[in-house]
Structure formats: C-alpha cells, structure tokens
Homo-oligomer: A and B are copies of this chain.
Amino acid sequence: MEIRRQDIHNSDIPLVCRACEARHGGVCGVLTAEQLTELNKHSSRHRLDSGAEVIGQGETVVNYSNIMRGVVKLTKVMADGRQQIVGLQFAPDFLGRPFLAESAISAEAATESEICNFPRNVLDRLVKRTPELEHRLHQQALKELDEARDWMLTLGRKSAQEKVASFLYLIATHIDPESVDMSSFDLPLSRADIADFLGLTIETVSRQFTKLRKENVIRIENNRHVTVPDMDRLMRHAGND
C-alpha cells in the first residue's frame, strides 16, 4: 500500500510537472525524475470544454490521460441510444484502459476540465519496465472496481429517492478531497447526466431533488449549488446506515 518515492529535486523534473496536481496523487507520483522527463517529452496538456469528448466507445486508444482539473464521465451507449454513466473520474485520476486497443466506453468532460495526454505506447513501455507504475495502475483499477460494485447495488436495489441521495453523497465526498467541509458544493453534472448515472429519467431526478429539498435534507441554489445541513441524514436517505 505504501509507495516509496525518491526525494526529487524540483529542478530535476519538468517545469510543467512541478506545479501539476496529478503528479502527487496520480500515476506520475511513482516515476523518477528521468522517467518523468521522458514521459513529459511526449505529453501535452489540454483544456476541455464541458461536454468535450476524450475518447469514444469503440474507438482505438491512442492516448492515456491524467485528469488535472475537473470531472470526467465514463459512459456506455446502447444501439438505440439508451445511455448509462458507468463511472465518474476526478482529478488526479488516471484515464484509460491499459492493455486494450479499443475503448469499451466513451469518456467526456462533465465540467470544464484540464487533462494531460501521453501516447499509449510510451506509457505501455514504461509500465513494462516499472513495477511501481503497474502497481499504481493496479491500485486505481481496484479502486474503480470497488466503486463500480458499490454503484451496482445502487442501480439494482435502491429506490429513486435513495439513488439521488446516494449521488449527492458521492459528489459531496469526491468533488473536493482537500476540503474538510463537504457540506456545500457545485454539482458537476446536469440533471440529464444525473439521470444517466442513476438509471432514471430527468423528471424523476428532478422530483426527488424537490422532495429532498422540501424535507430539508438539502438546499439548492441556482440548480447546481447544493448545501447539506446534516451529512448523516443524507446518508440515511441514501440507504447507507
């Protein structure tokens, strides 16, 4: 679990990496100064508008990314257009499916975001030579698997009200991991996205928001800003007692 990192002189690592959020929590944290320099040669940073696609379902993966800022949604679409969000990724998560050429999901910025791209083959080569890096990716895969399974319980067994409360709790606890106060935050998703995440319609999501608001579990301003006066009460509404 504990990852050793050599003490790196800031001057040894690429300029752009020095200020990078993703370098510490993210995969780059396990790389040496040399490796970071090498990877950085091939990497490029991009600003993404909300809604911008990083990769599409069925496309060939040419890049992996680190999320430096913002929230990225992972979605699956059926042939007839029905859609399900199967994961949300927050900075400084790694974005990509190692060891597979074709993406089974599409990834799209949910909010205005910033990512750092690097070529698939460069990282794949680096992974082969760096067990620490594979370990780090393995850890993230397991974390995502745990989250996916939690969400399966939500999708399969919870009521609409519990689903919406579960979503709010998820966002409260993930949107700003630094912050001590999780009781006030902006929703990174539209009502339509929330519906796609919860397996509901936007009307049902809206009604449940209204209901939670009327029961004073949450307060809402400007449709996107949520305040939770009592996090335990929200948790109980989410069915997590």
Contact of A199 (CB < 8 Å), options: B141, B145, B155, B239: B155
Question: Can you spell out 29 A-B residue pairs with CB atoms less than 8 angstroms apart?
Answer: A76-B152, A76-B153, A78-B153, A78-B157, A78-B239, A79-B239, A79-B240, A79-B241, A82-B157, A84-B152, A84-B157, A86-B149, A86-B152, A87-B149, A97-B142, A104-B146, A104-B150, A105-B149, A131-B131, A137-B138, A138-B138, A144-B145, A145-B148, A148-B148, A148-B152, A151-B152, A152-B152, A155-B156, A157-B199
A14 CB within 8 Å of chain B: no
A186 CB within 8 Å of chain B: no
Contact of A99 (CB < 8 Å), options: B98, B142, B158, B241: B142
A 55-95 contacts with B by CB, 8 A: 74, 76, 78-80, 82-84, 86-87
Q: Which residue of B lies closest to A87 (CB)?
A: B149
Complex Cα spacing A137 to B153, Å? 24
Give 1 or 0 for each of A37-67: 1 = CB within 8 Å of chain B CB.
0000000000000000000000000000000
A219 CB within 8 Å of chain B: no
A112 CB within 8 Å of chain B: no
Q: Distance (Å) between the CB of A158 and the closest chain B CB?
A: 8
Q: Distance (Å) between the CB of A194 and the closest chain B CB?
A: 12
Number of copies: 2
Contact of A149 (CB < 8 Å), options: B82, B104, B131, B239: B104
A237 CB within 8 Å of chain B: no
Complex Cα spacing A199 to B199, Å? 12
A21 CB within 8 Å of chain B: no
Complex Cα spacing A23 to B1, Å? 27
Complex Cα spacing A184 to B149, Å? 29
A135 CB within 8 Å of chain B: yes
Q: Evaluate whether A145 and B141 lie within 8 angstroms (CB atoms) in the complex, with A78-B239, A134-B131 already known.
A: yes
Q: Distance (Å) between the CB of A145 and the closest chain B CB?
A: 5
Measured between beta carbons, the chain B residues less than 8 angstroms from A141 are 138, 141-142, 145
Measured between beta carbons, the chain B residues less than 8 angstroms from A137 are 138
Besides A84-B153, A86-B153, A104-B149, 5 new A-B residue pairs in contact (Cβ under 8 A), listed by A number: A78-B239, A84-B152, A84-B157, A141-B145, A145-B148
